[in-house]
Structure 1
Amino acid sequence: MEPYATAEQVWAGGLIFARVGAVMMMLPGIGESYVPPRVRLSLALLLALVLWPLVGGTLPALPPTLGGMAGWIIREVLTGLAIGAILRSFMTALTTAGEIVSVQTTLGFAQTANPLEAQPGSTLSAFLMLLGVTLIFATDTHHLFIAGLLGSYEAIAPAKPLIAGDFAALAVRTLGQSFMLGVQLAAPVLVFALIFNLASGLVARVMPAFQVYFAAAPLSVILGLSIFALSLGVMGTVFIDRYRAAARVFAGGALG
């Protein structure tokens, strides 16, 4: 490698690649199982080369021992995985909203393969997850991921101690916000289900001989999905705004 790059340069590039590659494994859309590993590795290598002139001054010198090198690499991989996991965990808001809507419209039994989670899930959850990933790339929110990688070297510089406590607090706060957002996104269908079930109960009390279930079940599906479709634009707008705000935490180097 000496004719092309010095040992210090190879070390710096490899250290950046360790963090960037770990983040690429977890990001929504890029880190999915259907994306070929070569594509992720190529993108991570390209970003590492781009970030090298910008963050090279914050990297530690080449350790004299193999154990020191392994320790730094493991530290950067763990940092990248933590950043990617936090950014990915906010997507659970769409899963929560989809599951709530499925239960309230009696479609919870409708299962399909979710390509973003590599496991079966409700059809509406899979649809909302795909919608969320599409909105991320359609609104250029993925540009904030690159800015977040650069900002992470200011907030979580390799030469500084690893702030595991701040990572844990941010992860807990992000999961709490994502769950609350999921309930808020499904609020129109929740309100409809509450009113509809109360009305069905009153009809059953007034007319005990009337088969309420056979009349209410189709209406619950049709009206619930209609309200879900009408509120879909607002759901997408609110979600992408909240997600951009969450991504700016890293883009602005404001962690901790």
Structure 2
Amino acid sequence: MESYATAQQVFAAGLVFARLGAIVMLIPGIGETFIPPRIRLSFALAMSLMLFPIITGSAPPLPAEASGLAGAIIKEVLIGLMIGAILRLFMSSLAAAGEIVSLQTSLSFAQTANPMQAQPSTSIGTFLGMIGIVLIFATDLHHLFVAAIVRSFELFPFTRDVPVNDAGQLAVQTVGRSFALGLQLAAPVVVFSLIFNIATGLVGRIMPQFQVFFVATPLGLLLGLSVFALSLGVIGMVWIDRYRELVGAFAPS
């Protein structure tokens, strides 16, 4: 190996690949479960070879013991998992919005296989998740992913310890913001459902002999999906703007 690269260069490239491999395994779009792991790791290896000449200068010296080598690699894997998990957690906002819309339109029992998750979810949640992946690539947000990966070596250099406390706080904040955003995205359907149910209750009280559920269930489903379809464009724009702000915390200004 010394004929092609020194041991120090191989060690630095291994650290870069350890972090990039962990990020690519979780990052939205590229790290989806329906993409074979071999392709994802090959993509991470190609990126590592491209970024190695830029980052190799900040790499620590080669440890003299195997324990130091394993510790350095594990630290880089943990940092990569932290970054990838934060970017992945924000995708749950679309799943939350889909679940809320499904509950309000009585479609919560319509479960389909979600390619972005390891378990089935509602049809609307799966639909919104696929729209989110399309928006990431259609708006070139994946370019910011690459910029965030490069910037991570400045925010979390090789000599810095894993920020466990900061990562935990950021994960909790991201989950809270994702759920709040999911409720905001589903707000038009929630408001319509509230007004529609109040009107249905008033009709049932005024006309007890009227078959309220027989008429209200299909009408509520049709009107709820119509409101959801009309607000779909706004949902996509608001979500991609919020996601851009999150990635902007890692990407350079």
- What TM-score does the superposition give when structure 1 sets the normalisation length? 0.97
Mapping of residues 190-229 of structure 1, within 5 Å: 190-229=190-229
Unaligned runs of 5+ in 1: none
The alignment's C-alpha RMSD in Å is 1.0
Partner of 2:48: 48
**Is structure 2 residue 49 aligned with structure 1 residue 83?**
no
Partner of 1:155: 155
Distance 1:165 1:129 in 2: 29
Larger deviation, residues 217-226 vs 168-177: 168-177
**Amino acid of the structure 2 residue aligned with 1:213:** F
What SS does structure 2 have at the residue aligned with 1:114?
Answer: coil
Superposed CA offset, 1:42-99 (max 9, x none) = 1101111121122212221110000100000000001100100000000000000000
**Is structure 2 residue 167 aligned with structure 1 residue 167?**
yes
Unaligned runs of 5+ in 2: none
**Amino acid of the structure 1 residue aligned with 2:192:** F
Deviation at 1:37, TM superposition (A): 1.7
Distance 2:190 2:59 in 1: 50
Distance 2:161 2:22 in 1: 19
Distance 1:164 1:207 in 2: 61
Moved over 6 A (4+): none
What SS does structure 1 have at the residue aligned with 2:113?
Answer: strand
- What TM-score does the superposition give when structure 2 sets the normalisation length? 0.98
Distance 1:118 1:167 in 2: 24
2:78–2:162: 8 Å Cα contact kept in structure 1?
no
**Is structure 2 residue 108 aligned with structure 1 residue 108?**
yes
What SS does structure 1 have at the residue aligned with 2:100?
Answer: helix
Equivalent pairs counted in the alignment come to 253
What SS does structure 1 have at the residue aligned with 2:112?
Answer: strand
Partner of 2:131: 131
Partner of 1:120: 120
Deviation at 1:161, TM superposition (A): 2.3
**Is structure 2 residue 235 aligned with structure 1 residue 243?**
no
Distance 1:144 1:169 in 2: 23
